[in-house]
Amino acid sequence: MTAEFVLLSTVYYLLQESKKKVHNKSMFLKRLGAFFLDITEVVVFAIAIFLFVYLLVLQPHKIKGASMEPNFPDGEYLLTDKVSYRFGEPQRGDVVVFEAPVANGEEYIKRIIGLPGERVSIKGNQIYINDEALVENYLPSQLPTKPGAFLEEGKEVVVPANHFLVLGDNRIASSDSRSWGFITKESISGRAWIIYWPPPEVGIVAKASYQL
Q: How confident is the model at residue 4 (pLDDT cuts 50, 70, 90)?
A: very low
28-54 burial, b at 16+ Cβ within 10 Å, e below that, comes to eeeeeeeeeeeeeeeeeeeeeeeeeee
Number of H helices, E strands in the chain: 3, 12
Q: Which of 192, 205, 187, 188 is nearest to 79 (CA)?
A: 192
104: left (phi over 0), alpha (psi -120 to 50) or beta: left
pLDDT at 58: 83
Q: Summarize pLDDT for 180-208 with one digit per residue, the tens.
A: 999 999 999 999 999 999 999 999 999 99
In the residue annotation, 21 being an active-site residue is answered as no
pLDDT at 7: 42
Q: What is the largest CA-CA distance in the chain?
A: 119
In the residue annotation, 121 being an active-site residue is answered as no
Of the residues 19, 30, 67, 187, only one is catalytic, namely 67
Integer Cα distance of 96 and 4 in angstroms: 89
**Residues 6+ positions from 17 with CB-CB distance below 8 Å:** none
Of the residues 20, 82, 84, 110, only one is catalytic, namely 110
Q: Summarize pLDDT for 138-164 with one digit per residue, the tens.
A: 999 889 999 999 999 999 999 999 999
Burial of 116 from C-beta contacts in 10 A (0-12 / 13-18 / 19+): middle
Integer Cα distance of 115 and 212 in angstroms: 13
Integer Cα distance of 79 and 57 in angstroms: 10
| Of residues 57 and 132, more confidently modeled | 132
| Of residues 43 and 75, more confidently modeled | 75
Please report, for residues 15, 43, 45, 102, the alpha-carbon distance to residue 155 in angstroms, rounded to integers and kept in the order given: 98, 57, 55, 22
Q: Amino acid identity, residue 189?
A: S
pLDDT at 3: 45
pLDDT at 187: 95
Query: Is 195 within 8 Å of 205 (Cβ atoms)?
Result: yes
